[in-house]
Amino acid sequence: MDFPGVLSPVTSQRSMCAVGGQQAIRRGWKGTMLPVHTSNRALSMKLYTFDAAPNPRRVNIFLKYKGIQLATQQIDLRSGQQFSADFRAISPRCIVPALALDDGTVICDGMAICWYLESRYPKSPLLGTEPLQQAQVFSWDQYVCMEGLSTVAEALRNRSDAFKDRALPGPGRIAQIPALEARGRQRLHSFWQRLDEHLEGREFVVGNSIILADIDAFVVVDFAGWIKERIPERLLRVHAWYQRIKPLLAGP
C-alpha cells in the first residue's frame, strides 16, 4: 500500500544513470545514511512524469530552478498509460509524478519528491532553511495544493467528458458530481482573494526569496486557464507577484 509521503519499496524498478558530484553524509529516513550532494548535477534516479499535467509541472519547475538533472519517462495520461500494468507496478495509485530511486524505492506526491530532493541536494533551497520558515513553506504549500490546484481539478474533472467516472485521479471509478464544478470555481476565487491579502507587503509567499509554494501557485494560475479562469483584474498584488516570479522560473 502506498500512502502520501511514505516510501514504499518496489523491487522491479531500477534507474540506469550514474551518480556524480561530491557527496557528504546526512542521516535520513529511518536513520539511513543519505549522501548530500554539493552539486545538483548528474543524479541517479528516474522521474515518471507527464509534462502537460500540473502536478508533474510543479516538480519539473522545482528541478529546473535547482539545476537538478534526472532521467525521466513520460506516462501519457491522455492515452491512459497510468493504468498500464507496467506503471501500476511502479505507482499503484496510478499517478504522476513518481520518483524511482536506484534501490527500487518509489516516492509519490510532488511535495514528498521535492522534500527528498531538497534534503539531498540543498543548493538553491526552495523549502526554507530554518525550522519556522520550513513550517511556513509546508503550510503554504499545503494550502496552495488543497485550495488552488485541487479546486481547479474539482471544477475540471466534474464537468469534462474526458473525466467521466474519473472525477478523482487513481485506479478506482469515481462518478462526477456536476455541482462540484461551480464549487471548485468558487473555492478558486477564495484562494486568489486570500493569496492577494497575504501578499500585502510581501514579494514572495514566504520569506524573501522564491519557494515551492510560489512555484505551485504559479502552476495554479496556468492550470486555471484549462477551465478558462484568470486571476481577477482587481487582485493587483497577485498580478504583480505573478509577473515578479515568472522570469525567476526560467531556470539557472
Q: Which of 55, 72, 151, 176 binds ligand GSH (CB under 6 A)?
A: 55
Closest approach, Cβ 91 to ligand GSH, in A, equals 8
Phi-psi label, residue 170: left if phi above 0, alpha if psi -120 to 50, beta otherwise: left
| 114 forms part of the interface with ligand GSH (CB under 6 A) | no
Question: Position of cell 509546508?
Answer: 138
Q: Which of residues 193-232 bind ligand GSH (CB under 6 A)?
A: none
Q: Which of 53, 188, 206, 231 binds ligand GSH (CB under 6 A)?
A: 53
Closest approach, Cβ 109 to ligand GSH, in A, equals 4
Helix (H) or strand (E) holding 36: strand 33-37
| 169 forms part of the interface with ligand GSH (CB under 6 A) | yes
Q: Which residue blocks in 121-204 are alpha helix, DSSP H?
A: 131-144, 150-157, 179-198
CA–chain centroid gap for 123, Å, is: 19
| 150 forms part of the interface with ligand GSH (CB under 6 A) | no
The C-alpha atoms of residue 202 and residue 188 are separated, in whole angstroms, by: 21
Q: Which of 109, 141, 181, 229 binds ligand GSH (CB under 6 A)?
A: 109
Q: Which of residues 63-102 bind ligand GSH (CB under 6 A)?
A: 77, 82, 94-97
| 110 forms part of the interface with ligand GSH (CB under 6 A) | yes
Binding region for ligand GSH (CB under 6 A): 53-55, 77, 82, 94-97, 109-111, 166, 169
